[in-house]
Amino acid sequence: MGNSRSRGGQSFCSQFLPEEQAEIDELFDALSSDKSSPNASSRSFSLKALQNHVGEALPLDMVTRLYDGMRRVDLTGKAKGPSENVSQEQFTASMSHLLKGSSEEKSLIMVKMISATEGSMKAREVQKFTEDLVGSVVHVLSHRQELRGWTGKEAPGRSPRVQVLAAQLLSEMKLQDGERLLGPRWLDCDCDRAVIEDWVFRVPHVATFLSVVIRKGLLVLNSSLDLTTLIPERQVDQGRHFESILDVLSVVYINAHLPREQQHRWRLLFASELHGHSFSQLCGHITHRGPCVAVLEDHDKHVFGGFASCSWEVKPQFQGDNRCFLFSICPSMAVYTHTGYNDHYMYLNHGQQTIPNGLGMGGQHNYFGLWVDVDFGKGHSRAKPTCTTYNSPQLSAQENFQFDKMEVWAVGDPSEAQMAKGNKSILDADPEAQALLEISGRSRHSEGLREVLDDE
């Protein structure tokens, strides 16, 4: 499958297919032909050459990390330090390991990107690398205009969501003693390559993000990169523009936990900002519309929600299945899946006098993991210590919370029945109003005015 190359008595086998290797060689030729650095030989390139090629597509810190990772590759086993420039063999080996290699091979290059010291490194160095990696993903996809309708929420300084997602990825890392990297007190702990290798193996986003940064940043092997399951296409009603609670990193994180067949597209069903602060409007827009993600932001800026694996229905019984989950986005990112303790996955009721009216997920009546009351704008998240259905902690800042912003997104492709429901006019959803108009002899001005989906 690969191309064997030998230098200094040690062979390296590239894992690229012939057509891929040709593209890698073409990129190296372009980099090595940049003579902006006088010390670079005809078969090597400098940091300046890499910076010139990348331009503004990647932050300078990440370009430097990539360059350092390449020039620290020792294919002979005799090098006494990093080379001054990057040779073709170093470049090919680095790209092969990072883009096509095993967890072990990826970790070999990553440790060289993280730290200049061989062997052990501090956890705080891994933290800085992870924040740079996550930030670079948003940066390059924004630069290449491939956010698929979502926003990177770029603001002065680093986005807090970058740090939040980086912290989530780091929380999955296991140190040598099996402890997880949780909290500031762990930042001075030592990490070796075995820790990084295990982390890359168990946390797919790390390798995926590296692949996006390299392929989109260096514009190489783009044809084999499929972003559709990483970032879903964002669809809203035609002419409706609003700023979602979710930025692209939040969407990437939630989307990774959805069934694969539902990861490519999110369609807005309801947003309090657009459709009003009304529980009736919420029910009217989300019932019988297929699997969907609900998310809200409380007055204390905590962002959280849940994935409903089945269509919402207004009825007094619990519904859904074990694919449902609750999640938190801010102040921390986490997903909470079913425990098997009960089947109280989803609940939606309206107009009853003897049982609660509202939208709930997990727990039990009056003690939900997530509850949106019929008195829209109020809710609760109760867990002492965790929700019985999802093992989730209290998601909101206060047990009984208030909110102004709520959104519900249908995920995946709608069925014909769901499309038919989404194509109804306002009067179709309100038969009483339709009948009153017909009795009075007035025409239905909304007839024919149907919702049209538009890509933002």
Residue 131: which of 182, 214, 62, 200 has the closest Cα? 62
- How large a percentage of the chain has pLDDT more than 70? 86
Residue 149's Cβ-side half-sphere holds a number of Cα atoms within 13 Å equal to: 21
How far, in Å, are 25, 94, 97 from residue 75 at the CA level? 18, 11, 13
Distance CA 207, CA 203 (A): 8
User: What gap in Å lies between CA 28 and CA 92, rounded to an integer?
Assistant: 8
Q: Which of 79-83, 86-90, 277-281, 336-340 has the lowest mean pLDDT?
A: 79-83
Q: Looking at residue 185, what is its pLDDT?
A: 77
Q: Please determine, for residue 320, whether its predicted confidence score (pLDDT) is greater than 60.
A: yes
Query: What's the mean pLDDT when you consider all of the chain?
Result: 87
CA distance 324 to 343: 10
| β partners of residue 30 | none
Q: What is the pLDDT of residues 415-450, one digit of tens each?
A: 777 667 655 544 444 444 443 334 344 444 444 444
Region 201-221 average pLDDT: 97
pLDDT bracket for residue 181 (50, 70, 90): low
Measured CA to CA, the distance from residue 424 to residue 413 in angstroms comes to: 18
Give me the pLDDT at residue 282, please: 97
pTM of the model: 0.87
CA distances for 79 relative to 60, 84, 270, angstroms: 27, 12, 60
pLDDT for the residue numbered 426: 43
Higher pLDDT, 437 or 364: 364
Domains and CATH numbers, the chain: 18-224 (1.10.238.10), 234-411 (no CATH)
Lowest mean pLDDT: which of 154-163, 174-183, 232-241, 268-277? 154-163
pLDDT of residue 434: 43
Q: Which residue has the higher pLDDT, 455 or 21?
A: 21
User: What's the pLDDT score for residue 39?
Assistant: 64
